[in-house]
Amino acid sequence: MAGSKMGGTLKMAVGISVLLIAIIPLGIIFAPGFGAVGVVIWLSAVAAAVFTIVRYHSQCTSYKCPSCGTTFKISILADFFSPHTPEKKKVRCPACGIKDWCEVAD
């Protein structure tokens, strides 16, 4: 069902939103008090949180190649930098090497 795909994407979007809503005000409130060190720590926390979410997403999501039908997972970097829509992502298929819009398979 399309519902479960959208559910996963929605959960991820909600997760990121909650994270940003929680972390950004904390940074604005506390970072000035700690000066440059505070800003660096805050940015590190944001980067770590985003990295954790992207890693979780790349480990849980498979894509199906439209050319050969192979289902595959992608690396964290590919997940982070590839263009995507809620249901498709433009990635290179490891089986046939064609870069195309691959559907989310699970």
Q: Report the residue number, 17 or 67, with the smaller CB distance to Zn ion.
A: 67
Closest to Zn ion by CB, 9 vs 70, is 70
91 binds Zn ion (CB under 5 A): no
Answer yes or no whether residue 74 interacts with Zn ion by CB under 5 A: no
Q: For the chain, where are the alpha helices, taking DSSP H only?
A: 2-60, 76-81
With CB under 5 A as the contact rule, the residue among 81, 96, 99, 106 that binds Zn ion is 96
If you compute the radius of gyration of the chain from its CA atoms, what whole number of angstroms results? 17
Residue 43: HSE in the Cβ half-sphere, 13 Å Cα cutoff: 8
DSSP conformation class of 66: T
Among the candidate windows 9-17, 23-31, 40-48, 86-94, which touches Zn ion by CB under 5 A? 86-94
Asked if 95 touches Zn ion (CB under 5 A), the answer is yes
Please identify, using beta-carbon distances, which residue of 55 and 90 lies nearer to Zn ion.
90
Cβ proximity of 6 and 13 under 8 Å? no
Q: Does 67 bind Zn ion (CB under 5 A)?
A: yes
C-alpha to C-alpha distance for 83 and 44, rounded to whole angstroms: 24
Contact 80, 93 (CB under 8 A): no
Residues at the site binding Zn ion, with contacts judged by CB under 5 A: 65, 67-68, 70, 93, 95-96
